[in-house]
Amino acid sequence: MTAIEKIKTDIGIMAMAQKLGLDIDHRNGKVTVNCPNCDDTGKHLTLYEGSNRFYCFKCQVKGDQIDLYSLFTGNSPKTAIAELLPAGIHITPPTGQNAHKQPVIKPVPAKTTLQDYTGLFYEVIANQDITQAGRDYLNKRGITDALILKYSITSIDDPKAFANKLQAKYPLDDLLGSGLFDYSKNGKTYCSFFYPAIIFPHWAMDYPRITYLSTRNLAGEAKSFKLHNTHSQPFPGNEAQHSKQIFIFEGIINALSYEVLTGKENFIAICGLITPESFDALKLKFPNQKLILGLDPDDAGKQALSRIESCTYINWTGFAAELGFKGLQHHPNGKAWDLNDYLINKRG
Ligand SMILES: [Zn+2]
């Protein structure tokens, strides 16, 4: 057994983190610490107990237990090994023809900037089509073929084949870094989009670039998936940047329903709930435009709204009237209609 093998057998990645006295966070089944390589304060470095590896989702630094020790102590791997070897153990240096086969410790890479995955997203979408199941799902909800084409909306029927295709085509580091793949609790990699789903490319406002991908799932327990370990990006309508007022919607189906209903493209869809923080970020991004919140007229929407100071809220009653409805409409169970309900029922 070599020195490296001896250390790796004796000290797992979790034990190494404890030995280093790291401030460990356990959240959503993940074990994370702040990464010293990128002056991280958001716990982007994830430890994987199953594979005894680590990976920083901010600067992409990665490695095993010994690399972790080097990273946090600033010592070279050689010094790290000397320090980590238990006293009294004599390791014979490799000799003979097998010497070169000894495992080599990769040096910790220098600081890297956040990588740009827009090209990867573009290729994924370009190589993907809308399937009949995806088209049926959207058409049934009033989303037209013209919009499917306009936003390059695609779908996956077979998530396994989708994952295999990505793995055959792209380096795992890129798939992990982009958030299309992630590590499971036991250290295995998997595709973040693992249900049959519609895939929405989020186009940048300024030029044809895809900044993000999200799904609406056609099966499975979760309604939608986002990319993992990365900040979600908005889904803007074509005219969002050049309009005096921008409607902010929760969810892309709602936003697309708005476009079908009104023919207008002055919207931004957010994946998930609008928080005071995300609303502030939007205000900073669009200082000269009026932002109108189009939260669903239900309790969750009202609750979210109550936490956001000084904002304009969509006039749902007026909106319903414009579409020919007498006041706000509700489902039999009392839940208020969302934009897609108005679209479906207006057409019906
Ligand atoms: Zn880092």
Q: What is the mean pLDDT of residues 159-170?
A: 95
Categorize the per-residue pLDDT at 104 as very low, low, confident or very high, splitting at 50, 70 and 90: very low
| Separation of alpha carbons 256 and 147, rounded Å | 8
pLDDT of residue 74 exceeding 60: yes
Could you tell me if 287 and 328 lie in one domain?
yes
Best CA proximity match to 203, nearest among 214, 211, 195: 211
Categorize the per-residue pLDDT at 160 as very low, low, confident or very high, splitting at 50, 70 and 90: very high
| Separation of alpha carbons 198 and 213, rounded Å | 10
45 lies in some domain:
yes
177 lies in some domain:
yes
Categorize the per-residue pLDDT at 87 as very low, low, confident or very high, splitting at 50, 70 and 90: low
Best CA proximity match to 108, nearest among 23, 35, 172: 35
Q: What is the mean pLDDT of residues 215-240?
A: 93
Could you tell me if 290 and 216 lie in one domain?
yes
Categorize the per-residue pLDDT at 114 as very low, low, confident or very high, splitting at 50, 70 and 90: low
Could you tell me if 91 and 122 lie in one domain?
no
163 lies in some domain:
yes
Could you tell me if 66 and 181 lie in one domain?
no
**Angle at which helices 77-84 and 3-10 cross, to 10°:** 60
Q: What is the pLDDT of residue 150?
A: 92
Q: What is the mean pLDDT of residues 216-225?
A: 95
| Separation of alpha carbons 192 and 236, rounded Å | 23
Distance 236 CA to ligand 1 centre (A): 30
Distance 264 CA to ligand 1 centre (A): 42
| Structure token digits, residue 53 | 């590896």
Instruction: Write out the residue range of the structural domain in which residue 260 sits.
Output: 118-347
Could you tell me if 139 and 253 lie in one domain?
yes
| Domain CATH code at residue 46 | 3.90.580.10
pLDDT of residue 341 exceeding 90: yes
- In three-state secondary structure terms, 29 is coil
Distance 60 CA to ligand 1 centre (A): 6
pLDDT of residue 108 exceeding 50: no
The residue with tokens 């084409």 is 149
Could you tell me if 305 and 339 lie in one domain?
yes
| Separation of alpha carbons 256 and 262, rounded Å | 10
Of the listed ranges 50-54, 101-105, 123-127, 239-243, the one predicted with least confidence: 101-105
**Helix, strand, coil proportions of the chain in percent (round to 5)?**
40, 20, 45
Which amino acid does the sequence have at 312? T
Distance 196 CA to ligand 1 centre (A): 33
> Domains in the chain: how many in total?
2
Distance 33 CA to ligand 1 centre (A): 10
User: What is the pTM for the complete model shown?
Assistant: 0.68
Q: What percent of the chain lies above the pLDDT cut of 90?
A: 45
The string of pLDDT tens digits covering residues 187-197 is 889 999 999 99
**Alpha carbon of 137 to those of 181, 196, 199, 321: distances in Å?**
25, 12, 12, 27
Could you tell me if 171 and 61 lie in one domain?
no
| Structure token digits, residue 209 | 């670039």
Ramachandran category for residue 181: left, alpha or beta (phi over 0 → left; psi -120 to 50 → alpha): beta
Mean pLDDT (the chain) is 86
- Choosing from 36, 69, 101, the residue where a domain stops is 101
Could you tell me if 201 and 282 lie in one domain?
yes
The string of pLDDT tens digits covering residues 33-70 is 999 888 888 888 989 887 888 888 888 888 888 899 99
285 lies in some domain:
yes
| Separation of alpha carbons 144 and 151, rounded Å | 11
Distance 43 CA to ligand 1 centre (A): 9
108 lies in some domain:
no
Q: What is the mean pLDDT of residues 77-100?
A: 60
- Choosing from 67, 101, 135, the residue where a domain stops is 101
Which amino acid does the sequence have at 88? G
Best CA proximity match to 140, nearest among 340, 328, 325: 340
Could you tell me if 140 and 76 lie in one domain?
no
Higher-pLDDT residue of 95 and 201 is 201
- Choosing from 101, 134, 169, the residue where a domain stops is 101
76 lies in some domain:
yes
Beta-carbon count within 10 A of 310 CB = 5
Distance 104 CA to ligand 1 centre (A): 22
Could you tell me if 69 and 185 lie in one domain?
no
pLDDT of residue 245 exceeding 90: yes
| Domain CATH code at residue 326 | 3.90.980.10
Distance 46 CA to ligand 1 centre (A): 10
Distance 15 CA to ligand 1 centre (A): 20
Distance 193 CA to ligand 1 centre (A): 25
Best CA proximity match to 213, nearest among 229, 202, 198: 202
Q: What is the pLDDT of residue 272?
A: 77
Distance 188 CA to ligand 1 centre (A): 21
Distance 6 CA to ligand 1 centre (A): 27
Could you tell me if 142 and 281 lie in one domain?
yes
210 lies in some domain:
yes
Higher-pLDDT residue of 42 and 235 is 235
Residue pair 295/315 in contact (Cβ under 8 Å)? The answer is no
Could you tell me if 123 and 97 lie in one domain?
no
286 lies in some domain:
yes
Categorize the per-residue pLDDT at 93 as very low, low, confident or very high, splitting at 50, 70 and 90: very low
